[in-house]
Amino acid sequence: MKNTERFSSRVENYVKYRPHYPDSLIPFLKEVGVLHKDTVVADIGAGTGISAEPFLEQGNKVYAVEPNREMREQMIKILSPYSQFEPITGTAERTTLADDSVDLIVAGQAFHWFDAPAAKAEFIRIGKPGSYVALIWNVRQTEHPFEHAYEALLRKYGTDYATVNHKNITPAQMEAFFAPATYALKQLTHAQQFDFKGLKGRLLSASYAPESGPQHDAMLRELEDIYDKFQVNGMVKFHFLTEIYLGKLR
């Protein structure tokens, strides 16, 4: 399956159950001088619009670039009320945006799907002189007993979890992407709570979770066992570190 098609059947669960970004994200970008009221943003791999919406709420112009038709259509439904929202059919390697047209390039939960050298060349092309790139992930923590058990479930049943997990991105890869410039890493805390319906939806929003068959059924039985063991007042909790890799490309 092409990377651009991996989430086609998972859009509904993605919209309902994927985490958004902490409220402190926008203030941080303002504080370090990256985001202003007139900043033009390109959100690359924008998905259903989770990463674009905070910028639109600030009144920024946002070009939301998304190759997957189902994800893009859902994004349009959600974000069309914002006058500064412009959906774009494109990829990280071919955005279709004009040369020197954006001030800030954002990729939320998406960079690990890109062809990094081709994306870098494209970001340099579309970015104005002095523009910034912010690569952002909600990194699910595994220290707590529930989170540790959930991680083990993914490793057991995820079809290609070990190879597509964004945690595989290394400091060396980040250094190569931003070179010859450097980048700064900022971490923000974030959390998300679920009942069992939400936990199931969160799992099935992942591209590596089996959607049918014996492995799917066994996975959900084990998920329910994990939920029953660790729920408190009917809820389980994910903790996140929201990681922001921020720098210039030229």
Judged by DSSP in three states, 235 sits in: strand
Q: Which residue has the tokens 């709570």?
A: 193
Query: Would the pLDDT of 9 be above 70?
Result: no
In angstroms, the CA 97 to CA 44 distance is 11
CB 90 within 8 Å of CB 102: no
Please tell me the distance from the alpha carbon of residue 244 to that of residue 12, in angstroms, as a whole number: 26
228 neighbors 199 (Cβ within 8 angstroms): no
- Which segment, 7-16, 201-210, 235-244, is predicted with the most confidence on average? 235-244
Residues whose CB falls within 8 Å of the CB of residue 160, separated by 6 or more in sequence, listed in order: 208
Q: Is the pLDDT of residue 4 over 70?
A: no
Instruction: Give the pLDDT score at 1.
Output: 45
Residue 80 has pLDDT above 80, yes or no: yes
Please tell me the pTM assigned to this model. Answer: 0.89
Distances (CA, A) of 230 to 223, 234, 235: 11, 9, 8
Count of residues for the chain?
A: 250
Q: What are the pLDDT digits (tens) for 175-204?
A: 999 999 999 999 999 999 999 999 999 999
- Residue 91 has a pLDDT of 97
Which residues have CB under 8 Å from 93's CB, separation 6+? 114, 115, 118, 119, 122
Tell me how far apart the alpha carbons of residues 239 and 232 are, in angstroms, rounded to a whole number.
15
Q: What value does the mean pLDDT of the chain take?
A: 92
DSSP secondary-structure letter at 232? B
Place of tokens 């071919």: 94
The per-residue pLDDT for 202 is 93
